[in-house]
């Protein structure tokens, strides 16, 4: 690759671009302006049956400009970062602000800043050659494929990214950071025809060193093999153990409902429940925007407020919602540094950074033993269509194994589990001890959870 | 319209093949868009975007090498071709000369959205808000969104392909929340197409009225039943079931990796003889239509089920070459930053002889699933789960109470086999389909269809 693409540009370069964009926006008549500039360089290696299927290597760049015309916001984004491109972006943002209605709570943060966050970027990533990364992907696939009973490994991917982001605003704030990430996953099949079951294995870290190909491939194989011969069981009401993947998916959904924006718009079942008991005392949940291992960590959020740790559920009580500047002003509170951007294409909105379920003290075997007779869920389908965000009632598809006499029993499929989120949170009986970071439900540090009785529908 | 000259394209492709490759292509895109949203009676968001870039792909044997770049300057395009070629280590291959451009049937765009004053669009959103709020005192919240995009693309390949497309899409969506005491329900409706602003000129408020009607109706919902029962699936967005549970399994990448229950079933009877289905990227003005796919192949109407028999998979160039067939024009990409993969365009069951009333009248006890909140399918097994966002009980051949919390759970092959009635009222709705990290516009549709027996996961005790 050309040398100028070898690593993301220095943050100061992006800050300079941001400064020019902000100046152009002010010149175009904006009362306040903010620019978010990103540059990234990433690879994705896909292997299949022992050979490279595709290898992508590319850089991307772009900027988003947010302006305020009085209290009216406008946004524009683009990939042309030349002087004329930035001027066009500034004009487009000003034009957008001319059409929106004023919002007295909208505006730039009163105080910007950057938290001290370390270890977001690993120099080891750049030291790995493409060939070595290809080998790693092939090892992941081999680890899954060579397990007896695995009929095929459908998809194996290694990917990484080096990215740099900068924010600049018309109140004089400018900051930037760099982060690296590397991840790999494999999807394995066991069984054939209508008995085919699939399993996913994942690993993530700041550099490829953190990825254990045996563990990732092995996990994909083990999860598929554990489900071979799955049948639809009879309907029942029973305790349920969620594995870490599934717990993360549920917690991610709950995190979304704790956004002050959802709350203030009356779209969250947690509205007006701050301080209330909404969960069993065993469950502690927090959002940590500064955790070195969290993929969503950064010194500042999407509008330049410092990232931080925000306890969400403590001792079973709902301790706080997640706020950005606008929702905080509306509620008379302080921001929790929870303005997120999925990329330069979107203006900031309220969201979670890294959700952390505080580990308890039982391993998975202990949770299963305590459940005695119940259901162990390893996959859920249709979470986002199956949950009513306002009432919290849900019915989702599930796959897993029965728990019989305190041990894992036969695999089951084509079932639905139904409850409502608050009943579910209140029914948490035990929290697993071993946490891992998973990319489900956002970025979540997850553990298995033992829940009280739920409705399980089968045949 | 030309984003990139032929000379530069030819040089870039030659450079891409400088270190070997059986095939190379260059994809060029200039996209821009506007999105507006109104929430809580306020026009809260207005945003515009413009992205230009190119990508280069080189295929050698079974391996694909890919890179993309922001910007369309000569140096940008040549440098991305150069960097992709460096991943290979074989002898240079000379590309064929570029042919004259492929003629494509473009979809008619009456009123260019970017020529319509933004204030008029804002007024449309406000009118929708008024309409929804006027539907009843129990309407608590209304969200209205509007989006327009224009994607101009060019494709050049080492086989000589030169093709371009100019794609304009508009979409209006309304979401309504209705509240009565402790009960809260939402209703949703959209209208969109590969078309200009004229699509939204005619009574856009109807979209709001439909969404509000759904939310208000659902306030009276009872808990969904649980168990196996006949299900009548509504027309339009009901087609998401076909899209998810059948369509994805027909995409040739899944078939060739034996990751589809439909692999090896070509020519087999999978459904009753009155069941026919298509993937049709040519259908005028529909949401999932384009002139060409993102590999330069003209879009086409592909019959996937004929008289109940499986007749075709959906191909892009790579998978077609592997099976020794022609591409069906299904090589689609989200943007220049993505590799093409086989994707559906507009997928639908063809109209049958029954009527929706017949299907319902012939059902003693069952579920009428009008619209889905979303769904998920495992293509390898065909197992699916769908949340029913608007559903009703069918009792004694009549639609009775609305139900909340119903989930349909089943298997694509079994559901296909169990279709025992197809009505004539085909409608296509606007969907977004996610696959391989790429999100593309996909039309989903069908007439009313009855499935003899499906498992309904309900919330009723």
What is the average pLDDT value for chain B, to the nearest integer? 94
pLDDT at A162 over 80: yes
pLDDT at B104 over 90: no
CA–CA separation, B403 and B395 (whole Å)? 13
pLDDT grade for B285, boundaries at 50, 70 and 90: very high
Answer yes or no: do B259 and A154 touch at CB < 8 A. yes
Per CATH, which fold does A3-218 belong to?
PmbA/TldD fold (3.30.2290)
For A283, the token pair is: 């469950």
pLDDT grade for A410, boundaries at 50, 70 and 90: very high
- E strand segments, A358-432: 374-381, 393-404, 407-420, 428-431
CA–CA separation, A318 and A312 (whole Å)? 6
Among the partner-chain residues B46, B70, B339, the one whose CB lies closest to the CB of A79 is B70
**Share above pLDDT 90 across residues of chain A, in percent, rounded to a whole number:** 87
For B:70-129, CB contacts with A below 8 A are 70-71, 79-80, 82-84, 86-87, 118-119, 122
For A:399-418, CB contacts with B below 8 A are 413-416, 418
- Write down the pLDDT at residue B373: 79
Contacts B47 to A, Cβ<8 Å: 74-77, 96, 347
Q: What average pLDDT does this structure show over A58-74?
A: 96
For A404, the token pair is: 């019989």
Q: What average pLDDT does this structure show over B418-427?
A: 97
- Write down the pLDDT at residue B380: 82
Q: Which H helix or E strand runs over A421?
A: helix A421-426
pLDDT in tens, A309-329: 999 999 999 999 999 999 999
- Write down the pLDDT at residue A118: 85
pLDDT at A1 over 50: no
**Share above pLDDT 90 across residues of chain B, in percent, rounded to a whole number:** 85
Q: Which H helix or E strand runs over B216?
A: helix B205-218
pLDDT at A46 over 60: yes
Domains in chain A: boundaries: 3-218, 230-459
pLDDT in tens, B34-81: 999 999 899 999 999 999 999 999 999 999 999 999 999 999 999 999
Is there a contact between B191 and B211 (Cβ–Cβ < 8 Å)? no
The candidate with the shortest Cα–Cα distance to B152, out of B373, B3, B339, B350, is B3
Q: Which H helix or E strand runs over B62?
A: none
pLDDT at B1 over 60: no
Is there a contact between A430 and A360 (Cβ–Cβ < 8 Å)? yes
- Write down the pLDDT at residue A7: 39
Per-residue CA distances from B442 to A341, B248, B331, B343, B433 (Å): 26, 12, 13, 9, 6
Among B372, B405, B432, the strongest candidate for a mutation testing the A interface, having the largest count of A CBs within 10 A, is B405
Answer yes or no: do B50 and A390 touch at CB < 8 A. no
- Write down the pLDDT at residue A201: 98
Whether residue B175 lies within 8 A of chain A, CB to CB, comes out as no
Question: What does residue B437 show for φ and ψ, rounded to 5 degrees?
Answer: 75, 10
Answer yes or no: do A347 and B140 touch at CB < 8 A. no
Which structural domains are found in chain B, ordered by start? 113-218 (3.30.2290.10), 223-457 (no CATH)
pLDDT in tens, A189-213: 999 877 889 999 999 999 999 999 9
pLDDT at A382 over 90: no
Answer yes or no: do A418 and B40 touch at CB < 8 A. no
Is there a contact between A67 and A30 (Cβ–Cβ < 8 Å)? yes
Q: Which residue has the higher pLDDT, A250 or A195?
A: A250
Among B218, B402, B459, the strongest candidate for a mutation testing the A interface, having the largest count of A CBs within 10 A, is B459
Chain-centroid distance of CA A263 in Å reads 20
SS3 A57: strand
Within 8 A by CB and 6+ apart from A447, the residues are A244, A247, A357, A359, A360, A431, A432, A433, A434, A435, A436
pLDDT at B102 over 90: no
For B45, the token pair is: 């968001």
pLDDT at B208 over 50: yes
Percent helix, percent strand, percent coil in chain B, to nearest 5: 20, 45, 35
Cα torsion B179, B180, B183, B188 to 10°: value is -30
pLDDT in tens, B120-153: 999 999 999 999 999 999 999 999 999 999 999 9
pLDDT at B296 over 70: yes
Distance in Å, alpha carbon of A115 to nearest chain B alpha carbon:
29
Chain-centroid distance of CA B87 in Å reads 34
Burial class of A262 by CB neighbour count within 10 A (0 to 12, 13 to 18, 19+): buried
For A:87-116, CB contacts with B below 8 A are 88, 92-93, 95-101, 103
- Write down the pLDDT at residue A8: 44
Q: CA geometry: angle at A164 spanning A162 and A168, to 5°?
A: 170
Q: Which of A357-366, B157-166, B376-385 has the lowest mean pLDDT?
A: B376-385
β-partners of residue B116 are none
Cα torsion B106, B107, B112, B114 to 10°: value is -80
Which range scores top for mean pLDDT: A43-52, A264-273, B92-101?
A43-52
Q: Which residue has the higher pLDDT, A184 or B183?
A: A184
Q: Which residue has the higher pLDDT, B375 or A198?
A: A198
């Amino acid at each position: 690759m050309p040398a100028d693409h070898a690593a993301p540009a220095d943050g100061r370069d992006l800050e300079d671009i941001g400064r020019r964009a902000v100046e152009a926006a002010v010149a175009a008549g904006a009362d306040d302006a903010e620019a978010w500039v990103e540059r990234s360089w990433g690879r994705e290696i896909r292997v299949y049956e022992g050979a490279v299927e595709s290898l992508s290597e590319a850089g991307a760049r772009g900027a988003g400009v947010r302006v305020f015309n009085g209290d009216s916001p406008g946004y524009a984004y683009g990939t042309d970062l030349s002087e004329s491109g930035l001027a066009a972006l500034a004009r487009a943002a000003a034009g957008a602000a001319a059409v929106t209605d004023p919002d007295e709570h909208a505006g730039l943060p009163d105080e910007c800043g950057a938290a001290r966050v370390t270890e977001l970027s690993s120099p080891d990533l750049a030291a790995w050659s493409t060939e070595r990364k290809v080998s790693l992907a092939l090892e992941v696939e081999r680890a899954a494929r060579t397990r007896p009973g695995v009929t095929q490994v459908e998809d194996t991917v290694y990917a990484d990214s080096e990215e740099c982001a900068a924010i600049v605003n018309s109140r004089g704030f400018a900051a930037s950071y760099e982060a690296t990430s590397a991840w790999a996953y494999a999807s394995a099949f066991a069984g054939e025809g209508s008995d085919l079951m699939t399993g996913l294995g994942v690993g993530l870290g700041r550099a490829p060193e953190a990825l254990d190909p045996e563990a990732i491939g092995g996990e994909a194989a083990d999860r598929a093999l554990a489900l071979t011969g799955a049948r639809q069981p009879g309907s029942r009401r029973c305790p349920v153990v969620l594995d870490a993947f599934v717990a993360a998916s549920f917690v991610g959904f709950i995190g979304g409902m704790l956004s002050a924006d959802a709350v203030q718009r009356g779209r969250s079942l947690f509205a007006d429940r701050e301080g209330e008991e909404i969960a069993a005392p065993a469950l502690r949940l927090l959002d940590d925007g500064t955790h070195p291992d969290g993929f969503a960590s950064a010194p500042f959020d999407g509008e330049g407020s410092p990232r931080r740790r925000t306890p969400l559920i403590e001792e079973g009580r709902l301790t706080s919602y997640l706020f950005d500047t606008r929702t905080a002003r509306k509620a008379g509170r302080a921001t929790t540094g929870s303005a997120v951007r999925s990329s330069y294409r979107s203006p900031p909105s309220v969201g979670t950074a890294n959700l952390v379920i505080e580990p308890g003290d039982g391993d998975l075997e202990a949770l299963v033993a305590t459940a005695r007779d119940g259901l162990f869920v390893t996959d859920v389908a249709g979470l986002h269509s199956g949950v009513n965000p306002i009432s919290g009632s849900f019915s989702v598809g599930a796959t897993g194994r029965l728990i019989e006499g305190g041990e894992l029993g036969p695999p089951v499929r084509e079932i639905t589990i139904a409850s409502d989120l608050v009943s579910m949170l209140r029914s948490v009986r035990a929290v697993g001890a071993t946490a891992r970071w998973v990319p489900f439900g956002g970025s979540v540090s997850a553990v298995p959870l033992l829940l009280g009785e739920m409705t399980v529908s089968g045949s | 319209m030309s984003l990139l000259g032929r000379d530069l394209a030819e040089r870039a492709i030659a450079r891409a093949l400088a270190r070997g490759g059986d095939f190379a292509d260059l994809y060029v895109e200039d996209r821009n868009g506007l999105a507006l949203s109104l929430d809580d009676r306020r026009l809260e968001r207005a945003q515009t975007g413009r992205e230009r870039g190119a990508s280069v792909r080189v295929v050698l044997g079974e391996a694909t090498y890919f890179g993309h770049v922001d910007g369309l300057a000569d140096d940008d395009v040549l440098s991305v071709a150069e960097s992709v070629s460096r991943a290979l280590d074989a002898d240079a291959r000379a590309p064929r000369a570029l042919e004259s451009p492929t003629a494509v049937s473009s979809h008619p765009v009456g009123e260019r959205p970017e020529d319509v004053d933004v204030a008029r669009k804002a007024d449309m959103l406000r009118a929708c808000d008024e309409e929804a709020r006027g539907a009843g005192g129990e309407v608590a919240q209304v969200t209205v969104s509007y989006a327009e995009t224009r994607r101009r693309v060019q494709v050049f390949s080492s086989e000589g392909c030169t093709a371009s497309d100019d794609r304009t899409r508009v979409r209006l969506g309304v979401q309504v929340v209705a509240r009565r005491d402790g009960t809260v329900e939402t209703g949703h409706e959209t209208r969109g197409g590969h078309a200009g602003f004229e699509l939204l000129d005619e009574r856009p408020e109807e979209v709001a009225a439909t969404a509000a009607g759904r939310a208000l109706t659902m306030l009276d919902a009872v808990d969904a039943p649980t168990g196996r029962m006949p299900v009548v699936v509504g027309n339009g967005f009901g087609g998401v079931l076909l899209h998810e549970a059948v369509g994805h399994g027909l995409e040739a990448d899944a078939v060739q990796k034996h990751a589809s229950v439909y692999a090896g079933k070509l020519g087999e009877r999978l459904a009753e003889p009155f069941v026919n289905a298509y993937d049709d990227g040519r259908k005028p003005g529909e949401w999932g239509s384009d002139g060409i796919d993102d590999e330069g192949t003209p879009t086409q109407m592909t019959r996937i089920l004929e008289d109940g028999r499986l007749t075709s998979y959906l191909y892009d160039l790579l998978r077609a070459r592997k099976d020794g067939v022609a591409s069906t024009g299904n090589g689609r990409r989200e943007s220049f930053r993505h590799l093409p993969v086989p994707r559906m365009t507009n997928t639908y069951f063809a109209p049958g002889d029954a009527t929706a009333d017949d299907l319902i009248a012939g059902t003693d006890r069952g579920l009428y699933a009008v619209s889905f909140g979303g769904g998920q399918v495992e293509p390898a097994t065909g197992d699916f789960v769908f949340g029913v966002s608007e559903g009703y009980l069918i009792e004694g051949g009549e639609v009775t109470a609305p139900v909340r919390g119903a989930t349909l759970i089943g298997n694509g092959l079994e559901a296909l086999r169990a279709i025992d009635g197809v009505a004539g009222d085909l409608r296509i709705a606007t969907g977004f389909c996610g696959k391989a990290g790429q999100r593309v516009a996909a039309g989903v549709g069908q007439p009313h269809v009855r499935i003899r027996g499906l498992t309904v996961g309900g919330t009723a005790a």
